[in-house]
A = this chain, B = another copy of it.
């Protein structure tokens, strides 16, 4: 279970006290944080997660090349503590604007020149404190929708996600603030495109199959990933991921399953290693006669596939076969290409057959 707001405030206060202590002791104020970047990320086979390594970096106030970043990190930490104590949240863009000002006596120098500076300190703080930015009361943009038998409590409202029309429940940016009261479903289907989400909703796939439909509208937001994680962890709900049959769809699956390189330090909170991949695959093209509705691979697609072939998290026999088959056929296939068979084919045949026969990729 995640830390309470009080515990996060305590962590931030401890961070500040530690700095003050060093000043009182006439020592150089410094702090350490886990290093970022690919060379501090590894794939842990047993957990099936991308994880942060053990390397750490130090920032020292008295080192001229550190002092700007040192000040920025402390400014953000202090403002996050205010947010927590005021029970407010801010977007990371608002945080940037909140703290942007001219340094006293320095006409041309600002605390932050652009948002990449503040965003990078936010990531450092997440790493240092080992909390989600949402626990620091910082939000990312929201996207994605949920349909199905879930009751959530969100900002004082009780929402029955099975009664949300075609629109659905809009997944909020900050999942830490919602309370999932009940889940009555056999599994959740995570869908790459909102077009396919609309199709399955129109076919009443959620009701007929007692399933949750989570439409991402492309790369899933942090909110959507965290929601999937919580649905699986708290309610033991099986998760099936349904993307386009192309290297970008496979990357989306991968991020949901193992985490991302950028946010490797959050994999244990954002990723869902037990999820399964339901499609689209190259065997679908053969099995369902979809050759006519494939699209030719572009050079950058082939390059991406070759990269994925070398990733340890695509190391399984099944994924190697899939990726090699794609390179050999030189085609990709979109999930909406199933409409070639008939509009309801995906809901009446494709998905139920795969789920019944447990025809998944790992």
Q: Which residues of A contact B (CB under 8 A)?
A: 88-91, 93-95, 97-98, 100-102, 110, 139, 141-143, 145, 152-159, 163-174, 177-178, 193-195, 198-199, 201-202, 217, 292-293, 334, 336-340, 343
Contact of A169 among B155, B170, B195 (CB under 8 A): B170
Q: How far is the CA of A158 from the CA of B163 in the complex (A)?
A: 7
Asked if B145 and A165 sit within 8 Å, CB to CB, the answer is: no
Smallest CB-CB A-B distances: 7 pairs: A154-B165, A94-B339, A167-B170, A91-B195, A166-B172, A170-B170, A167-B172
- Closest CB in chain B relative to A114 CB, distance in Å: 8
Please, which residue of chain B has its CB at the minimum distance from the CB of A110? B292
Instruction: Report chain B residues within 8 Å CB of A98.
Output: 339-340, 343
Asked if B163 and A167 sit within 8 Å, CB to CB, the answer is: no
Asked if A177 and B166 sit within 8 Å, CB to CB, the answer is: yes
Q: Given the known A-B contacts A293-B97, A337-B97, A340-B98, are A165 and B173 also in contact in the complex, defined by CB atoms under 8 Å?
A: no
Q: How far is the CA of A143 from the CA of B338 in the complex (A)?
A: 23
- Closest CB in chain B relative to A217 CB, distance in Å: 7
In the complex, the count of this chain's copies comes to 2
Instruction: Report chain B residues within 8 Å CB of A193.
Output: 141
Q: How far is the CA of A302 from the CA of B94 in the complex (A)?
A: 25
Instruction: Report chain B residues within 8 Å CB of A145.
Output: 142, 170
Q: How far is the CA of A217 from the CA of B171 in the complex (A)?
A: 13
Interface of A is mostly: mixed
Q: How far is the CA of A169 from the CA of B146 in the complex (A)?
A: 11
Please, which residue of chain B has its CB at the minimum distance from the CB of A140? B195
Please, which residue of chain B has its CB at the minimum distance from the CB of A153? B165
Q: How far is the CA of A97 from the CA of B153 in the complex (A)?
A: 40
- Closest CB in chain B relative to A22 CB, distance in Å: 31
Asked if B143 and A217 sit within 8 Å, CB to CB, the answer is: yes
Instruction: Report chain B residues within 8 Å CB of A90.
Output: 199, 339, 343
Contact of A336 among B97, B174, B293 (CB under 8 A): B97
A159-B165, A167-B170, A170-B170 given; 17 more Cβ-contact pairs under 8 Å: A90-B199, A90-B343, A91-B195, A91-B199, A93-B334, A97-B340, A98-B343, A101-B292, A141-B195, A142-B167, A142-B194, A142-B198, A154-B164, A157-B163, A159-B163, A164-B169, A166-B178
- Closest CB in chain B relative to A103 CB, distance in Å: 11
Asked if B292 and A100 sit within 8 Å, CB to CB, the answer is: yes
Instruction: Report chain B residues within 8 Å CB of A334.
Output: 93, 97
